[in-house]
Amino acid sequence: MKLLLLGKNGQVGWELQRALAPLGDVIALDREGTQGLQADLSRPDAMAALVRTLRPEVIVNAAAYTAVDKAESEPALAHTINAAAPQALAQAAAELGAWLVQYSTDYVFDGCGSVARDESAATGPLSAYGRTKLEGEQAIVASGARHLVFRTSWVYAARGGNFARTMLRLAGERDRLRVIDDQIGAPTGAELIADVTAHALRAALAQPALSGLYHLAAAGETSWHGYARHVIEWARARGHAIKVAPLGVEAIPTSDYPTPARRPLNSRLDTHKLRTTFGLHMPQWQHGVERMLSEVLGDKGTST
């Protein structure tokens, strides 16, 4: 089987290179291109042409415009990459009878209330990023292509920069930190997203009726403040240089940390549909975060 992976060097794309490998021949591309094959999502027509040339059975699109704040000042580019390109991919996939796997976000919701949202909940994005990701989802569904669209949240990976690494760096430099405590969600590892993608894709290939939208996030919930404290105390307990005092991580409301893009306060995703449809288990968020910390900090055998 031939699989086309787009955005191969992003957090999720990198892990997909590993997780998809046992399923078939993976052609992994990024915007720069490999062997004359370029996958630049800012050129939707070229993406559709690429698909028609390569004729993959599965397209996995891990590329996206993910700069949430910058999207407020570049909405047209964010729309092209997050909505027009997935639409073009979906139309080409529909023509070929190929599957399209796409990732979306809890930022398609307005984040009111405190209940975890399922796939049928009303959307209401607060930001340009959220709007463009929602338009991408809708275009895929409307195309008639077989698809798996996974909405996920608070993605991290050992590779590249991430919130946990930033907190560790700041905790090593400063006495006090101020971190938002009224946005609630589940940090979700790129490894988990990639592994779930491979399992779900395998089942869906055998049973096309499983085509659809699924919420994919680690179990449990926390705030950015709870996440930061967990990371810092985990590192402190293992003897890493931490300057910030145990009670020095101050909880602040979102209103004290203004950003160009508004973010939902309630990022909880209900993963019941994903778990029951594919017979999968979502581990607690701490599990993957501690594994990532072990990797980043070079500890051995400390994850449970």
Q: Annotate each residue in 183-212 with x if it binds ligand NDP (CB under 6 A) or - if it does not, as one string.
A: -------x----------------------
Q: Which residues contact 181 (CB under 8 A, 6 or more apart)?
A: 223, 224, 225, 226, 251, 252, 253
Residue 109 found at the interface with ligand NDP (CB under 6 A)? no
CA pair distance 240, 13, nearest whole angstrom: 30
Min dist CB 215 to ligand NDP, Å, is 11
For residue 227, indicate whether it is catalytic.
no
Helix, strand, coil shares of the chain, percent, nearest 5, are: 45, 20, 35
Helix 285-297 vs helix 190-206: crossing angle, to nearest 10: 120
Residue 265 found at the interface with ligand NDP (CB under 6 A)? no
Min dist CB 253 to ligand NDP, Å, is 21
Query: In the complex with ligand NDP, which residue's Cβ is closer, 75 or 172?
Result: 75
Min dist CB 65 to ligand NDP, Å, is 6
Residue 134 found at the interface with ligand NDP (CB under 6 A)? no
Residue 153 found at the interface with ligand NDP (CB under 6 A)? yes
Q: Are 205 and 99 in contact (CB under 8 A)?
A: yes
What is 247-266 written as a DSSP string?
T-EEEE-GGGS--SS---SB
Residue 65 found at the interface with ligand NDP (CB under 6 A)? yes
Sign, CA torsion 80/201/273/9: negative
Query: In the complex with ligand NDP, which residue's Cβ is closer, 64 or 218?
Result: 64
Residue 159 found at the interface with ligand NDP (CB under 6 A)? no
Window of 152-160, 222-230, 255-263, 287-295 that interacts with ligand NDP by CB under 6 A: 152-160
**3-state SS class at 297:** helix
The active-site residue out of 65, 103, 129, 227 is 129
CA pair distance 163, 159, nearest whole angstrom: 12
What is 34-66 written as a DSSP string?
BTTB---TT-HHHHHHHHHHH--SEEEE-----
Q: For the beta carbon of residue 37, count every other beta carbon within 10 angstroms.
A: 12
Min dist CB 49 to ligand NDP, Å, is 14
User: What's the count of helices (H) and strands (E) in the chain, helices before strands?
Assistant: 10, 12
Residue 87 found at the interface with ligand NDP (CB under 6 A)? no
Positions 5 through 24 that interact with ligand NDP (CB under 6 A): 7, 9-13
Min dist CB 10 to ligand NDP, Å, is 2
Structure tokens at 181: 């405590």
Window of 38-46, 115-123, 171-179, 244-252 that interacts with ligand NDP by CB under 6 A: 38-46
- Integer-rounded Cα Rg, in Å, for the chain is 19
Window of 89-97, 108-116, 147-155, 288-296 that interacts with ligand NDP by CB under 6 A: 147-155
Q: Which residues are designated catalytic?
A: 129
User: Which residues are near ligand NDP by CB under 6 A?
Assistant: 7, 9-13, 30-31, 39-42, 62-66, 81, 103, 105, 133, 152-155, 190
